[in-house]
Amino acid sequence: MRRIVILLLCVGWHFHAWATNRIMLIGDSITQGVGSSDGLGFRDELAQRLDVMGYPYSYVGIFGGEPYPGHFRQGATIGQFYTGPGGEGGSLDVGYDMDVNDPNIVIIHLGTNDAFMYRAMAPYTTSETAAWRMRYLIEYLIRWHNGNRSDQLRTILICQIIPNTSYPDRVDELNDGLAQFVQDANNGLISPIPPGILRLVDQHTSFVPETMLDSDGVHPNDVGYQHMTDVFEDAFYYLPMYLERVTEEEVSGAMGCELSEPLTVRVTDKHGNGVAYVDVTFQVTEGDALLLDSQPVQTDDLGLARGRLQLGGQGVSTVTAMSPGLIESETNFRVTASNYVKIEGTITYYANDMPVPDVQMKWVEQGSFVGATNSAGSYLIDDFEFGNRVTLQPWKNPPATASASPILSYDAALTARHAVGLVSLLPEKQVAADVDGDQAVTMNDAAHIARYAVGITVPTYTHVGEWTFAPHQLYYDYLSCDQTGQNMTGMMMGDLHGGWTPPSVPKPDITGRWTLSMSMERTGPSDVSVYVNVGRGDMLSADCVCRYDPRTLELTAISQTERTQSFQLHCHEGERGTVRIGLFSPAPTSGEDAIISFRFRIKNKTDPAFLQVQDMYVNDDFLGNTTLNLTETCEQVQAEAVSPVQCYPNPFNDRTMIRFQVPETSGVHLHIYDSRGREVASLIDEEKSQGIYQIPWNGRDKEGRIVPSGVYFYRLSTSRGEHTRKMIKAR
């Protein structure tokens, strides 16, 4: 009689007293396979594979001979192996075998007969189909899982059947029905089958009928049985095999207290994957520690099982975790109950949850620092004696300089916006803004923050730049147990925008959000004005550092521009040639023109001159640095210093001033020419006495029309000769 090949491997999850897995085989082909040369199917080969992998097993059942006491039962249809819906009288009822042998694993190898004896193969939800009968066979076996008849059965695997040439469509239909059945059962949709107990073994996809079937086109040949053994072996590799420690082997805690972290083990398969629903028993095998959970405990989705432990008196306890039936089935922990108690926790920043390193922990009663947070923001103090009174206060040094601080004029702007009622800050940001400690957020707080941002010394009663923590201290009247998870939040007063980060964290890239540039114009014979231009978004504040060479340039003024006239400006010169600048306003400004104006007097007209704007922030966005080369302007000033005629500004927009010197009384002629040599304007044609003169040109020709932008020349003629210079009219 023809038979479908269906393997149902029922592997449960309750490991109890036996060190081996009792495997019960139901069906024909494993022990007396039709088509195999020795008539044994893959029984011997499967046993050898289990021996090689080290998997503890024994075949059990009422039939079979040495060396295997078990037998699959001779094959028939699925319904003959159980009583219940669809059962065919139970002529081969496995219930007696299950009672006698109480197996952990049941392999069901059935089906070929069903493929042509039943009118329909699937779905499992339709009465009288083969898949429907398989469902009720599984429900029959669940009685030996759920405690109704026993609780030793652990998992269920359904093996899809191999191809055959007689009825391929019916094989495909049954395999699809079995796959849907396993999926629904594992999703908890089929009561009383518990989720996770079924596994599907695919014997169909990789089976090659041309080389693996016997001449009857139904049963495997030796190559086919060898291949099926390979698939079974791989299925076993996904069963629970190893019990490994996750917690260190040596742990300690305070005597009489619960261990700060539970003892944790992991059950894995051959591939290192965690296996869920495996029972693990923790047992105190030496010492007076006490387990706090009923045993056994089950592994979670990651394969982890945990045992909570309360320590006893001072000394060592041994705890064994065990899960019989695995290749590696137990592991030990040594737990020391100590007279010392630890306090540990993590400190993170209030605005971004980043770890705060280098926070010193002060034991107030002893007046000494006893620990500090590491780069991960964690601290551990493990040498407090049992029963100590402990008040633990965190302390962190404020930044040494304004450049080392995250506080910006932007924080002053946010404070000001709250103070004038434009916004309402979150409660924790109001704490950060109240730097004078008067329980109110005012413009006075904004001013203190703005001054601090550029490095100006603030009054001693303010707390801007200082660290504060919540809670501000930890207190234990009688320290009797380890204190874990004692976490705190740190805040730098004045840092409303949450700009503080650990030193290793880079500034974010905001390329394209803003534009940054500098421009200049001559405003006198030796004077230049430099403008910092910022474009695109709405600006509430700006911060930067201006650096220049004081041997070449003398800074004479810093001011707002027309765009930032309503902003408060704060400047602070540290070392010569370095000025920190900050400006802010409650109301934003937008545009692309200048926000800050610098005025310089050129002192040394021969050395190179550069102006650098560094660490430029707009609001809390870091724009970087930019440099303006003033060397050419200095050289121009030098040339003009020995020239009898010059103009400034040059280039100019609407108007420029031509300055010239008359060494003696003579006729003076001052004319303007375009780049083609044509006279554009005549400014002077008269006699002048000795002296220095300044004549404006308004950029108009002789007819009063505005001349186009471009290159022009002005020529001065006196009794001492002619002098021609270039000037540029800009747009």
**Cα–Cα distance measured from residue 61 to residue 69, given in angstroms and rounded to the nearest whole number:** 6
Query: Which CATH class for the 402-469 domain?
Result: mainly alpha
Is residue 204 within 8 A of residue 147, CB to CB? The reply is no
**Cα–Cα distance measured from residue 13 to residue 275, given in angstroms and rounded to the nearest whole number:** 10
- How high is the pLDDT of residue 510? 54
Tokens in use for 92?
Answer: 């081969």
709, 714, 697, 684: which is closest to 657 by C-alpha?
Answer: 697
For the segment 695-711, what is each residue's pLDDT rounded down to a tens digit? 999 999 999 999 999 99
- How high is the pLDDT of residue 699? 92
* DSSP category for residue 288: S
Tokens in use for 72?
Answer: 């699959």
Homologous superfamily (CATH) for 242-338: Immunoglobulins (2.60.40.10)
Helix axes 222-237, 43-53, angle to 10 degrees: 30
To the nearest 10°, report the CA torsion of 677, 679, 685, 690. Answer: -40
**Looking at the whole model, is its pTM more than 0.75?**
no
CATH 3.40.50.170 for domain 643-729, yes or no, is no
652, 641, 629, 661: which is closest to 726 by C-alpha?
Answer: 652
Is residue 648 within 8 A of residue 526, CB to CB? The reply is no
Q: How far is CA 175 from the centre of its chain?
A: 42
Q: What's at 339, amino acid-wise?
A: N
Domain boundaries, the chain: 5-237, 242-338, 402-469, 514-636, 643-729
Instruction: Report strand pairing: 250-254 vs 330-338.
Output: parallel
Give the HSE-up count for residue 609: Cα atoms under 13 Å, Cβ half-sphere.
Answer: 26
Within this chain, domains 402-469 and 514-636 share the same CATH topology: no
- For 634, phi then psi, to 5°, come to -60, -40
- For 227, phi then psi, to 5°, come to -65, -40
620, 615, 539: which is closest to 579 by C-alpha?
Answer: 615
Radius of gyration of the chain (CA): 44
Provide CB contacts within 8 A for 417, sequence distance 6+: 423, 540, 586
What CATH architecture applies to the domain 514-636?
A: Sandwich (2.60)
Q: Is 180 exposed, middle or buried (0-12, 13-18, 19+ CB in 10 A)?
A: middle
- How high is the pLDDT of residue 198? 86
Q: Is omega for the bond preceding 123 within 30 degrees of 0, making it cis?
A: yes
Is residue 129 within 8 A of residue 173, CB to CB? The reply is no
Residues of the chain with pLDDT under 50: 1-18, 62, 71, 640-642
**Cα–Cα distance measured from residue 505 to residue 619, given in angstroms and rounded to the nearest whole number:** 19
- How high is the pLDDT of residue 304? 97
SS (H, E, C) 393-430: EEECCCCCCHHHCCCCHHHHHHHHHHHCCCCCCCHHHH
- How high is the pLDDT of residue 718? 87
**Cα–Cα distance measured from residue 557 to residue 330, given in angstroms and rounded to the nearest whole number:** 79
Is residue 296 within 8 A of residue 16, CB to CB? The reply is no
- How high is the pLDDT of residue 13? 33
Homologous superfamily (CATH) for 5-237: SGNH hydrolase (3.40.50.1110)
Q: How far is CA 680 from the centre of its chain?
A: 68
Tokens in use for 176?
Answer: 């699809």
Q: Which helix (H) or strand (E) holds 50?
A: helix 43-53
At residue 506's C-alpha, the angle toward residues 503 and 511, to 5°, is 155
Q: Which helix (H) or strand (E) holds 176?
A: helix 168-186
- How high is the pLDDT of residue 10? 42
For the segment 348-359, what is each residue's pLDDT rounded down to a tens digit? 999 999 999 999
Beta-carbon count within 10 A of 230 CB:
14
Please tell me whether residue 5 adopts helix, strand or coil conformation: strand
- How high is the pLDDT of residue 325? 83
Instruction: Report strand pairing: 390-395 vs 309-310.
Output: unpaired
Provide CB contacts within 8 A for 467, sequence distance 6+: 359, 394, 395, 396, 397, 398, 490, 491, 492, 493
448, 485, 505, 492: which is closest to 466 by C-alpha?
Answer: 492
SS (H, E, C) 629-650: ECHHHHHHHHHHHCCCEEEECC
Q: Which helix (H) or strand (E) holds 184?
A: helix 168-186
